[in-house]
Structure 1
């Protein structure tokens, strides 16, 4: 297992590249998480667009530097919107991130739509332990959008999912684990309040997408995004008390890590 942190020079270098290149990152996400996701991207210097206005999915799916799809976007977007977005990304060779929110929580129709997106070869699949264990075929028993499993327990299942799909697979938790082929990476740190701020997990998928076009490999970008997010959360924890101020401080710390304060 390889540990990755903010102290790694490559992590800092990739964050600098986002600031320099300001990649256009297009996402479909749920309306609960959209504002925080956009603000996380802006905090590190990326250029976000979110939503499925007419023509956007196919056009921006092809034309963005990276794409992320949070499947809870189905709250407001159609299944066709999601498929057009990832089909455009796949056809154009644009890296894209799949966040299978609430997969395995008991909604068979929804789960079927999520599974269809695997046919479009996501570069990264990221989520909580229950979601990813269920996607790998295990009985994980998610509680709505919340995990009932630990990230450590998910390791063998995300390894299976990575082999099956060819994607880099990342699970969030007290320690984040990232699998690429036979390699396993760990990112420690963060703060439990990331689970108590609406959209904080969803926004991590957006951040992963921002790192992909400035990184040499998909796994390098995925690990770097997790390490930056963990560092920002730790710094936010050090100067806040409640969850409201933590959410604002998280954005502040991201922008300061990126040199955009």
Structure 2
């Protein structure tokens, strides 16, 4: 399996995937064609997809494709990163961290202004946020905004992708997959060198990493690095984003939202 590098700033999200994907990969359109053409970030949680448009407007979309605007138009116009943690949306805007509670449509700044100005990737894991800065240094942030450095300076300099699963951080570095245990602070290579050099999108769930390659082929990889192709080769060739939620895999293709239908 050869996979393509992806900038760490790409958004990745986690939830549940259906075993039906192993035997069939049928898709259905969700909502109207082109509804997602301006989407720059999306997460799935609580049965809804939450997305930010290029103009900074936040939307909530249900499983039928019905959507509604949350908050004022353009409220998130400076958002650089979007992740979910404990049914809350966390964004980095102009280098500062913000927490948004969708159910109440309220948001607040967390921590000091500018503390996250060098962040290039972030995920939520076990009630905390883990972020990698442009220097390659890893940080752990509590929900009150307090943070601490994890490991030595620049240990993740070569990280291109970042995901959270099974108490570990999973990174792709120079096309190779690694996992880091946040309790023991130990890391190890998973699978073979270069297996991930053509990956363009990745999501984690139920002990597996699901990834799309540059040629549009979907793969499922277990914790030991063993992988298998899912569905037809190149079926997702126009996909730009992949999201998993409630036993379903969602993708955005040419500005339109699709999901698996077993």
Give 1 or 2: higher helix fraction: 1
Per the normalisation by structure 2, the TM-score is 0.34
Per the normalisation by structure 1, the TM-score is 0.34
Give 1 or 2: higher strand fraction: 2
